[in-house]
Chain A
Amino acid sequence: MADGESSREATARTLRNAFGNVFSFFILLLIGILAFSIRLFSVIKYESVIHEFDPYFNYRVTQFLTKNGIYDFWNWFDDRTWYPLGRVIGGTVYPGLTLTAGTLWWLLNSLNIPLSVETVCVFTAPIFSAFASWATYLLTKEVKGTGAGLTAAVLLAMVPSYISRSVAGSYDNEAVAIFALIFTFYLYIKTLNTGSLFYATLNALAYFYMVCSWGGYTFIINLIPMHVLLCIVTGRYSSRLYIAYAPLVVLGTLLAALVPVVGFNAVMTSEHFASFLVFIIIHVVALVYHVKGNLSPRMFKVAVTLVVSVGLVVCCAMIAVLIALVASSPTKGWSGRSLSLLDPTYASKYIPIIASVSEHQPPTWPSYFMDINVLAFLVPAGIIACFLPLSDASSFVVLYIVTAVYFSGVMVRLMLVFAPAACIMSGIALSEAFNVLTRSIKFQLPGSSGISQSGDTSMNTEGEQNDIAKTEKMDETAKERPSKKNKRKEKEPVVKASIRSRIERRLLVLPLEASVIAIILLVLLGAFYVKVACKVDAALNVHASTLEKSSRVGRWKLVHCVWAAAEAYSAPSIVLTTYSREGGLHVFDDFREAYAWLSHNTEVDDKVASWWDYGYQTTAMANRTVIVDNNTWNNTHIATVGTAMSSPEKAAWEIFNSLDVKYVLVVFGGLVGYPSDDINKFLWMVRIGGGVFPHIKEPDYLRDGQYRIDSQATPTMLNCLMYKLSYYRFVETDGKAFDRVRQTEIGKKYFKLTHFEEVFTTHHWMVRIYKLKPPKNRIRGKTKKSKSKASSTSSPKRSGTGKRNPWH
């Protein structure tokens, strides 16, 4: 009889397990769909187009890859950028993203699904954010069970910080790298929990994928050693830790060295140093444990004193040599970007190029709140929850969030690394809170068999309708699942921890009313999460009308809030829109207008000079050779362009002519009020130019330390090329030359260009393209005079301009 009963119980449990699995599978599927579709607003609202700057380069590389194949890709020397230096693309690019999208495209095309490369590139980021939320589920599940996993996955699918980098069209390394990062962490934890070499190998492969994808892989290769060290120091060393770490270092380093852009850096730069040090330490510790196991305690003590005294001397010598080696290199073996991470003031002191990028600035408090909002309050609760039973896995997550907080505080871009950690922590916190509260309700509900039952209380409760309790149930079932499937016993500490937690749970019974209210509050908090995202984002959004729209629709507020949250980040930045008073949409498509003009109406081999921000877009959209681009690898070259832009016309002409430049492109927002134009970036050009060519001095461009372009501006400022190219004939638009970005009338309104001629200006004047006049035009000629009447710009009369232009 007992046999039959137990079998019936077993079948019931299997059914419940199956139901729980299917249920969580569908929840995960929905989370994936949510993560994918929340990122499609950019396509719906704008169009399926690549965004911003770097994605255009990645898109161009992907095009090359799909057209010419992988071998040409590795050998690709790009002569259309950094003229006349060129750039070895195959060896200087993280190929993960490109290869991923290329493979995806190839797969689809071999199935005769003729999607364009562009479409594949646009949708890569949303697809991988769905993967990332699944990876978050797996990681959190390993740390704190299924319930926490699902909550964390939902949070990650919607966290604004991550949305901002992975909307459709944002085809950047981070799109796949965040997935790779979380997945690598998951496999590390999985190996740590199971001690399986299989997962250790997978972990090395995932790490390899991460190395392929993003320079942020150094975060992994420093965080994992830190965790290993932490485990060793806190006496948590085990063979599982060894299996999780040693293969990763060996295999991972070998694989990382295969990526051309990393190469020997994988063993030579200081970023990887920590991993090798910990590798040595873990072996020493392993040896100690081994020896300790084999020797009697007394013998062991003797051995320890012997080894320590000898080993200390050797170690000191080794470390001294190492430090000397590292210290001998000027940057101490660290790359500039890593150094600016360790020393936040480093970049602004030494490398203006890194400092000039807005995403390398430290974030402000509002940006924290905007990017992760309520998660910021849940994180501490999550950390506490991790400590309640501290396991290897939860200590890793705690370490992860602590380091990520630091890095995100240094560079706003690394908020992206912080976001998954915050999601995991908040997921844990929320799920723990729900656990406690529902348990309190359950224990106090009349007629419930909860108290009388031991162990599996939550599994056997009848008449449970609360779906939160269901998640909890799955939490329990999922804990059982690996032990069943792998036919292996759960690890001792985990089981112990769970028993301990159960006891604790029973102690943590709250009054019924309090817990019901708390659950409602938590649900409200979830709504608030979405809603706050809406408010903050809408406030940042230029179009206030979105807020009105969302507030008008009362019932579907949440849905609309998500919509607005996505909207703030979905502008592709090459197309700008405003709403006119009648509600119509006005589109500013000037960038593409200019690029299309360049690509169709100039010679294929013409060189276009612009500030480096527009380099990637020019090569990708206009297919013209540029002097500098967003891969700021050569400071001198950028400084040359910066110098030319800040020099007077003639000197600038000479610089550009020496670089074979035929067209100069400037971005000008003064007519329509587009704030991120070249005049606003101009001080960086001066700074970077002056850093290499000392005759450009920043104070020359500032009046009493103030940057201005009105009548108070310095003569150097009013005569530099950037000023002239931006404001050439600007006064004729409104008669006053009122600059709508700087909110002032410009200083010098009427002037002529001697060495440049305007060849194209876009509809809203946002991009202006000038052509260098050929040298022969500069010679004074009689025939030219008649022409200068017809077209007022081509005036070669130097004497004439000389009079009006005393600084020339």
Chain B
Amino acid sequence: MQNMLTVVANTLKGGAKINGSRVVVSARSFADLTPQASFDIKRCDLHRLDEGPSVQTVLTREDGLRYYRTMQTVRRMELKADQLYKQKIIRGFCHLYDGQEACAVGIEAGINPTDHLITAYRVHGYTYTRGVSVKEILAELTGRKGGIAKGKGGSMHMYAKNFYGGNGIVGAQVPLGAGVALACQYQAKNEVCVTLYGDGAANQGQIFEAFNMAALWKLPCIFICENNKYGMGTSVERASASTDYYKRGDYIPGLRVDGMDVLSVREATRFAADYCRYGKGPILMELQTYRYHGHSMSDPGVSYRTRDEIQEVRGKSDPITMLKDRMISNNMASLEEIKDIDAEIRKEIEEAAQFATSDPEPPLEDLCNHIFFNDTPFEVRGTSPWVKLKSIS
């Protein structure tokens, strides 16, 4: 029934566009498509675990299209950010996520909205999967009042319910995430906290302090290392004595996952969440992934790796292409509807960019607000003793 309505709607839509005459958009009805299929996924390398996630997973058409749509939205949003940065409309730091979409989308698919998540500064993808609109993300990047942090945070400081940013200090988010997990345990609601960090951050001492306390107190924390092979301009071999990041939790069980395959990530996340949700303690996941852009917009990304390498990953392992090919070759989606989704996303991103470039900057009156929460208004010293500004909670 749903499919029939979709066909009719599409047909009418198509008709309205072309001079009033009816044009049939799709020659084939969606009722022909496979509602779900089973896929083989790579076996994970395991550390201190007898069993790992299943090597087979079932994907429904509905989920598949949703993952596709989400990944494509993140991809297009990041490319738009690239464009806006080059036009100098976005300033400062901008760390793009294109190439790594399967991680954010797969993780979100493996946890509940009531679970918690925290990551570092390569955060736009997670901000989207955790529920913030593209409009609010781009407007935050352009520093406008319609941004999710009212323009006061910028690229690295976006927050939402059960999403704690967005953290600029490498590694700091890991103890913070363990703390969120402590709160989950304390409040006894069977929630977990997903705490992400990169291959560069993996050598931070505070991460090992967090591992120790998480294991000691059996905190419901899923530590996830997004290994995109480069910490800024330093390859993993040049930074880490051990590049088996999934083993570096030592006494914490770990698994290494293909981070370019959204289904692998989803399955592994489900496995990890199951493990630590009910009191077994923390678990560690390494997602092997890749970023197409350099470390940030000020890094062309080719002085420490070859263009050939980037091209090869794009050609052979792109997460969005992989999912699309899987769905089409298994008759789970048609090329036309994929194209439609792409067109819708393009439109959404354009509109969001429009908003992000036309929305006004936060007013000067907002300068000193939000210093303290739930506090009486107070005076703030301006740039000289005669300038007295006001701060409101």
A binds B: no
Residues of B within 8 A of A (CB): none
